[in-house]
Structure 1
């Protein structure tokens, strides 16, 4: 069967299963099976697909109909122009998080601390974009850090990025080093919001990285309160938030002594990042 026919059939099948943007996903899956860039798939659609590749594609389509994320099926996700390894042990890097990257790159930094680093996509992107900078990523999940280490090495950043297992600032206990930028995309989904998430997120992404099993603000209380002890004078903090959490997280920063506190929207106009700067008293 030709590639175009396979794509059309898969699109109908996934649409019937409730998969959003089924046509896009069909193309991504077929490009993966054919081992061609997704942007060049059109050139291969008129050609017949080998039977073994057709079988592999059909299996992926069936899994996608079960709402398994595409990134889990192909093992990769693009983020800020770079490809990252993704597994069920880490959050799927999302375009909205690029708002945090843009905000971080708008100011100077040399030493970055990424709390809840997951796949490492935030820390590694910042280091890749800013030559000479170094950073540390912390995560409670050893399995997530296996992914972060792989991504670090794949990007050639093994001499500039380190990772430690632990809860928030715990791995820094006894260390005197301070950072000029702290970033985090912590679990911010409230427990009563979990049921409303898409199946791709709710059923297949790590729950530990999604929710605090409470009001969605637990991580921010710990991150913001602890940040001044680990930031240099003039250092910044940037945290990704849910679209209704801007006021609450901003208030935490003000209480903890941060100035120039602001809420930054994403490209859809939703509150996405809260930033602040610390100054010695």
Structure 2
């Protein structure tokens, strides 16, 4: 299915990645994203979803090379990582880290960066006590650390938010809270989003379009609800049938 959109904010064309020993990891992946749009990337572990996301922002792991690609981005990108604690500096208090990201990306003074950091804490529903006493990542819960990571991404004022399974490391209750925050912020701030996940229920409620990846290739794509209700590729059919219980695929707010 061809993707026809006016003035895409992100275009990825013929992305191919390989190890230094020439083992192919991603082959000829192409897609486009419009302003304010949400697209899901789903597939089994090792299918190339996260590598595709990392190639957009230029954070490929050591030993993995970009063989070919034409990536055009007309806005600022920011990324939310799968492991929130691993994404934070364990030796630096979290508000200090957030303020540093604000100062670097928004080119403001140290005093102004802390003020903006406090506003982001409020936006993400973090404890007001952090304004009086900063804490290290190990002193916060996983959900609180992920909110800090989201705040850091927002501090970049992104036009495109790249989400690499941002709820996988969290318990179910906290997962719903984080998804609700991301959904609300997208509506308020209008950024586009690429959401990598294994969870079909998440993409059914958050993403208008969907790409299914297998062995480094996109094997099926289309409108999320249409694809989930009437998959054409046998792998997509197996992926959906493996979900127990099968989710009710309809656009609905994240609880």
Give the TM-score normalised by the residue count of structure 2: 0.30
Structure 1 or 2: larger strand share?
2
Give the TM-score normalised by the residue count of structure 1: 0.27
Structure 1 or 2: larger helix share?
1
